[in-house]
A and B are shown apart, each in its own frame.
Chain A
Amino acid sequence: MNTVLSLIVQRVVYSIGTLVLVSMIIFAAVEVLPGDVTARILGRESSLAAREKLRIELGLDRPVVERYVTWAGGALTGDFGMSLTARKPVSEVVFGRLGYTLALAGFAMLLYIPLSIIPALVQAFFPNRLPDRAISTLNILVLSTPEFLLSTLLLFGLAVVFPIFPPLSQVSAATGVLNFLWMITLPAVSLAILLAVAGTRLLRESLIDLMDSDFIRMAELKGMSRTRIVMRHALPNAMIPWLNATAINFAFMIGGVVVVERVFVFPGFGSLLVDALQLRDVPLIEASVLVAAFIFIAVNLIADVLAILLNPRLRT
């Protein structure tokens, strides 16, 4: 148990180190590297006096290290300063939008679980036969379709040709729960399909590998039915790598969410990020990129810890 604990502590410390490094990179990229931030905010034709005023307002006249420490210290307590465009605290803006996106991501995750497991099971029951090949081909087709195209096609099919779902997902605080779920179904389905492709591929590989292993052959020789072998012996063993891939997929979804939210005009974290970048709202950019990196690191950490707890062979 001690080794497990120290392994977990090691991962946690490593993740925190990575997060600190990421915060430095983001800060450097946004504030230090290219040109004049104030000119980027106010435009190139702005007067020098106006730029100077903004520079002091933003605290840009202070040394870089001091500014980083102030920013990072604030970030620790959830204070990212004021948004330049929204005239509200950045944390309020970010966490409001993040709630919507987490609801969307959670819904997509719920859809992802059956969407990735069921096709892989079908493939494992009929390896190298028609159902297996059909699903594999479909997988490659979806994998080769950019997510903006896939979600646009879904929107065309299920909101324009067959107007089942609303074409826009412009939810607000006033939207009721059921209506909210209804409005985010299409974006959630697009996200889930994109993730399920990778999940299915991986689960199929590990299931088919496992079907070749000694303990499965043993079960076969005992005269166990194929259904029972797959469901009781192969599937639980294939779930560990799948769980790991799912965590990575979830992290990948942060990128996918940017595109899907854009297509369905969903006012989530991804749209916020794109808006912040387009409006050059520096404090908002820094905060949202950091939050995106934080989620990525946290999800990967959870996946690592789960893998350590579930797989005794990793505890060496």
Chain B
Amino acid sequence: MVAQPLAEKPRRGAGLLAVWRSAPSSFRIGAILLGIHILLAVLGPFIALYPQQQMMAGRPIQGPDLLHWFGTDQLGRDVFSRTLHGGWIVMVLSISGTLLGVAVGSVIGLACGYVRGWVDEVVMRIVEAILSIPFLVLALLAVSMAGPELAGSPVLVVTAVAVIYAPRIARMARAAALDIVTRDYVTVARLRGEPTLSVVRREMLPNAMGVLLVEFAVRAGYAPILIGTLGFLGFGMRPPTPEWGLMISEYRNLLTVQPWAVFGPGLMLSTLVIGLNFFTEGLSRVLGRSPMRGAA
């Protein structure tokens, strides 16, 4: 038997660098794009030349120049500054909506997979039924049912995203739970007489975490599109919030004279989603899991 030479213990930084080098190029592109977007979202409001609502920051409806990279809108507001002010809004809404949806969905799914029986049957039938309402229709329905008092509130947008994601996550978490439930540590916990909720939280959740994390990342990648679509259709944030989908909808009538007012926010939205998608795909490839992609 040949003695294996002891591998030198890599330093922490070097290890991360090695992971970075060995990662697929799409992951690196995604990470860089995402990094730029996070940086812009945090610093945006401070580096923007103009306040997001300042009118007559330039001549109304002018094309891009050195001071106004995406030109100005019909009120003379600087579109680039507005876009910068909108970044953190898009991100915070996306992350909170996805987080809420994943949290609610995974609790429902894991609990159903653990208790089984008629509760599981009934809840999953309801989940299937909700899933047969096209997701955008479901979101629009949820938003308009909240009534006019809440219209345009960020809470409502977050809820709408969560309403779409929760049933999808629930179905997936249940499938994961059906596998976890057969493990011995769950049986032991049950035999110890632990209450259902505690088994779900302390035994099932940590073991489903990997699947749920990948799912979270994939869903978070679609959330900006969802929020933008809601804004675009008039069911999301309200003016003058500089949410990118809403801005594209507001500036659509400028398309013939000042298309950069649409291209700018559109470019930001697309690059954010591309970054998120590449990052997630690369991450799941690094972790050895294949994400469920495509239509939400």
Contacts and interface: CB of A to CB of B under 8 A. Distances in A.
A21 B273 CA distance: 35
B129 A296 contact: no
Contacts of B229: 146-148, 259
Contacts of A51: none
Contacts, number: 137
B68 to A, nearest CB: 20
B145 A33 contact: yes
Nearest to B295: A252
B208 interface: no
A296 B132 CA distance: 6
A101 to B, nearest CB: 12
Interface stretch (B5-13, B134-142, B179-187): B134-142
Interface in A137-189: 140-141, 143-149, 152-153, 155-156, 160
Contact of B137 (A149, A152, A153, A273): A273
Contacts of B137: 254-255, 258, 273, 289, 292
Q: DSSP class of B's interface residues: helix, strand, loop or mixed?
A: helix
B132 A293 contact: yes
A258 B295 contact: no
Interface string A254-267: 11101100100000
Contact of B141 (A21, A29, A152, A248): A29
Contacts of A316: none
Contacts of B248: 148-149, 152
Nearest to B232: A148
Interface residues of B, number: 44
B293 to A, nearest CB: 8
B128 interface: yes
A40 B132 contact: no
A258 B233 contact: yes
Interface string B196-237: 000000000000000000000000000001001100111100
A25 B133 CA distance: 10
Contacts of A156: 255, 259, 262
Given A25-B130, A143-B277, A252-B134, A30 B145 contact: yes
Interface in B263-294: 266, 269-270, 273-274, 277-278, 293-294
Given A160-B256, A254-B137, A148 B249 contact: yes
Interface stretch (A102-110, A214-222, A274-282): A274-282
Q: DSSP class of A's interface residues: helix, strand, loop or mixed?
A: helix
Given A156-B262, A254-B137, A278-B234, A297 B132 contact: yes
Nearest to A294: B132
A34 B133 CA distance: 20
Contact of B270 (A25, A30, A144, A249): A144
B273 to A, nearest CB: 4
A44 B229 CA distance: 28
A140 B294 CA distance: 10
Interface in B109-159: 125-126, 128-130, 132-137, 140-142, 144-148
A22 B125 contact: no
A258 B133 contact: no
Interface of A: 17-19, 21-22, 25-26, 29-30, 33-35, 40, 44, 140-141, 143-149, 152-153, 155-156, 160, 198, 201, 248-249, 251-252, 254-256, 258-259, 262, 273-274, 277-278, 280, 285, 289, 292-293, 296-297, 300
Given A18-B129, A19-B132, A146-B232, 12 more contacts: A21-B126, A21-B129, A144-B273, A146-B229, A148-B232, A148-B245, A255-B137, A259-B136, A274-B140, A289-B137, A293-B134, A300-B132
Q: Considering the complex of A and B, which 6 residue pairs feature the smallest CB-CB distances, nearest first?
A: A255-B136, A21-B129, A144-B273, A255-B134, A144-B274, A277-B144
10 contacts: A140-B274, A146-B225, A160-B256, A201-B293, A259-B136, A273-B137, A277-B140, A277-B144, A289-B141, A293-B133
